[in-house]
């Protein structure tokens, strides 16, 4: 059903794409670049610095469902606008920290803010407002796919020029631009449907127990484990295989362009494909990619197959996570449902780098890791197939 007049799709696309690019580029992407200079100046351990970041991720997961429920009840304007403004203030606060407790507290609050205004909530707004959800989400992912490409060198340059504290203040100023974009975009947002929370349909807890939700939860949790784990370990895994450094970096860097290419094909296909079909294809690519990685220890060709399959599956699942969930579960109450899916994925997302490191240490190398990831990929595919089954 086409939603009533609200934010035009073009405005929704540009506003959400640019505000999300800035939001993730200021509060998430810069962290690895900040660790070194913060460690050098403050004398804190790397465990503490990473622990604060992890606490923020966990806080984001815990806050996702309440944020989604607020969105369903009250609409997006107050929560997203205040979240984007709070993100700028928290970046400024981070630039002033001198005590570990304050550092961890700021990261926890940043995690709450992420749940209020970044990807999960933004995509719930797109699902509620867009006339063509799939094409709008796909177009937004084109822009946000360049977040790291833009903000890693930008943050590095700002650290070189201003130091890490000055860089955080500059990022806070950029985040204010994201706040302004969000205010402009949401000025035409529709409010919640009157009486929406009093409908006779199943409540949130009942919906969370439905087979379709459980299948999607399994799929996205497994995908989060794979993508975060490989994000932390792919380069050392490839180095262990003895490839030249230039080859290792080229293989790792190819992930982004392959993601964008898959999304471009998805955008071109338009309404000729359903999200169920795209999800089945994308999740099937995950175990294929991991098997190619497992079998391709001495084969550059199989390693390239891994890169292509994993990047395509990863890129498409970003779209399926929003548009596919809406197609399978429906738009009603999608804020809370999307928040629940995000919360379920948070533990595997935060645990994956540590668990893979423990496997590496126990095995004396990365040998078992691709086989483990292939099994997790099969779980993702099985979960989506179960969720997409007609009912």
pLDDT tens-digit profile of 250-281? 998 888 889 989 999 988 887 789 999 999 99
180 vs 191, which has greater pLDDT?
Answer: 180
Say if residue 197's pLDDT is above 60: no
Q: What is the pLDDT of residue 332?
A: 83
Q: What is the pLDDT of residue 50?
A: 85
What is the percentage of the chain residues whose pLDDT exceeds 70? 95
Q: What is the pLDDT of residue 331?
A: 84
Statement to judge: residues 274 and 300 lie in one domain: yes
Tell me the average pLDDT of the chain.
91
Statement to judge: residues 171 and 230 lie in one domain: no
Statement to judge: residues 179 and 263 lie in one domain: no
> pTM for the full model?
0.85
- The residue-averaged pLDDT of 348-373 equals 94
pLDDT, tens digit (0-9, with 9 covering 90-100), for 125-143 = 999 899 999 999 999 998 9
- Is 3 part of any domain? no
Statement to judge: residues 63 and 139 lie in one domain: yes
What are the two backbone dihedrals, phi and then psi, of residue 368, each rounded to the nearest 5 degrees? Answer: -75, -15
Boundary (domain end) residue, out of 193, 216, 250:
193
Matching residue, tokens 């304007």: 77
Say if residue 4's pLDDT is above 50: no
Percent of residues in the chain assigned helix, strand, coil, to nearest 5: 85, 0, 15
Which residues lie below 8 Å from residue 329, measured CB to CB, with a gap of 6+?
A: 207, 212, 213, 216, 337
Which helix (H) or strand (E) segment holds residue 209: the answer is none
Q: What is the pLDDT of residue 333?
A: 84
**70 is written with which tokens?**
């607020």
Q: What is the pLDDT of residue 198?
A: 41
Count of Cβ atoms closer than 10 Å to residue 253 Cβ: 11
Statement to judge: residues 173 and 257 lie in one domain: no
The C-alpha angle 338, 339, 345, rounded to 5 degrees, equals 95
- The residue-averaged pLDDT of 93-114 equals 97
Q: What is the pLDDT of residue 5?
A: 57
Say if residue 2's pLDDT is above 80: no
Q: What is the pLDDT of residue 253?
A: 84
pLDDT, tens digit (0-9, with 9 covering 90-100), for 159-190 = 999 999 999 999 999 999 999 999 999 998 87
The CATH number given to whatever domain includes residue 372 is 1.20.1250.20
Segment of 103-107, 140-144, 191-195 carrying the highest mean pLDDT: 103-107
Q: Please choose, from the candidates 387, 251, 365, 225, the residue with its C-alpha nearest in 3D space to the C-alpha of residue 306.
A: 251
Boundary (domain end) residue, out of 150, 166, 193:
193
- Is 198 part of any domain? no
Q: What is the pLDDT of residue 199?
A: 47
Q: Can you give the residue range of the structural domain that contains 381?
A: 204-388
| Contact indicator for 376, 226 with CB cutoff of 8 Å | yes
Segment of 46-50, 80-84, 184-188, 231-235 carrying the highest mean pLDDT: 80-84
Q: What is the pLDDT of residue 194?
A: 43
- The residue-averaged pLDDT of 243-255 equals 90
pLDDT band at 193 (very low <50, low <70, confident <90, very high): very low
Statement to judge: residues 277 and 331 lie in one domain: yes
- The residue-averaged pLDDT of 13-26 equals 96
| Contact indicator for 323, 282 with CB cutoff of 8 Å | no
Q: Please give the tally of structural domains in the chain.
A: 2
Q: What per-residue string of b and e applies to 112-126 under the rule 16 or more CB within 10 Å gives b? A: bbbbbbbbbbbbbbb
- The residue-averaged pLDDT of 343-359 equals 92
- Is 131 part of any domain? yes
Concatenate the DSSP letters of all residues of 31-72 into one string: HHHHHHHHHHHH---HHHHHHHHHHHHHHHHHHHHHHHHHHH
Statement to judge: residues 230 and 116 lie in one domain: no
- The residue-averaged pLDDT of 220-248 equals 93
Say if residue 201's pLDDT is above 70: no
Q: What is the pLDDT of residue 146?
A: 87
Q: What is the pLDDT of residue 3?
A: 46
**CA 259 – CA 142 distance, rounded (Å):** 9
User: If you compute the radius of gyration of the chain from its CA atoms, what whole number of angstroms results?
Assistant: 21
| Contact indicator for 81, 87 with CB cutoff of 8 Å | no
Which residues lie below 8 Å from residue 124, measured CB to CB, with a gap of 6+?
A: 68, 71, 76, 322, 334, 335, 338, 339
Boundary (domain end) residue, out of 163, 193, 223:
193
Count of Cβ atoms closer than 10 Å to residue 39 Cβ: 15
Say if residue 383's pLDDT is above 80: yes
Say if residue 12's pLDDT is above 90: yes
């Amino acid at each position: 059903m086409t939603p009533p007049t609200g934010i035009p799709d073009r405005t929704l696309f540009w506003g959400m794409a640019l505000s999300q690019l800035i939001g993730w580029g200021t509060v998430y992407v810069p962290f690895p670049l900040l660790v070194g200079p913060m460690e050098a100046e403050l004398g804190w351990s790397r465990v503490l610095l990473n622990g604060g970041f992890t606490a923020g991720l966990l806080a984001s997961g815990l806050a996702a469902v309440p944020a989604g429920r607020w969105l369903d009840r009250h609409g997006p304007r107050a929560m997203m606008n205040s979240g984007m403004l709070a993100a700028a203030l928290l970046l400024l606060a981070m630039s002033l920290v001198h005590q570990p407790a304050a550092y961890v507290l700021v990261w926890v609050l940043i995690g709450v803010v992420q749940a209020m205004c970044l990807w999960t909530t933004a995509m719930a707004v797109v699902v509620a407002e867009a006339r063509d959800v799939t094409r709008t989400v796909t177009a937004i992912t084109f822009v946000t796919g360049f977040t790291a490409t833009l903000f890693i060198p930008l943050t590095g340059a700002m650290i070189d020029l201003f130091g890490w504290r000055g860089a955080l203040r500059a990022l806070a100023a950029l985040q204010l631009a994201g706040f302004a974009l969000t205010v402009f975009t949401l000025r035409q947002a529709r409010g919640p449907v009157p009486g929406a929370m009093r409908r006779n349909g199943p409540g949130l807890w009942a919906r969370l127990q439905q087979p379709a939700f459980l299948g999607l939860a399994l799929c996205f949790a497994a995908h989060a484990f794979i993508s975060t784990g490989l994000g932390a370990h792919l380069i050392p895994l490839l180095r262990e295989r003895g490839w030249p450094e230039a080859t290792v970096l080229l293989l790792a860097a190819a992930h982004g362009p392959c993601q964008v290419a898959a999304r471009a094909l998805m955008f071109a296909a338009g309404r000729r494909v359903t999200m169920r079909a795209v999800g089945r294809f994308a999740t099937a690519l995950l175990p294929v990619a991991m098997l190619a990685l497992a079998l391709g220890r001495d084969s550059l060709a199989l390693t390239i197959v891994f890169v292509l399959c994993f990047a395509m599956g990863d890129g498409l699942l970003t779209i399926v996570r929003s548009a596919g969930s809406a197609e399978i579960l429906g738009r009603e109450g999608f804020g809370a449902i999307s928040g629940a899916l995000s919360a379920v994925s948070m533990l595997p997302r935060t645990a994956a780098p540590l668990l893979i490191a423990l496997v590496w240490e126990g095995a004396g190398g990365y040998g078992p890791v691709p086989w483990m990831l292939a099994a997790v990929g099969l779980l993702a595919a099985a979960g989506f197939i179960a969720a997409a089954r007609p009912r």
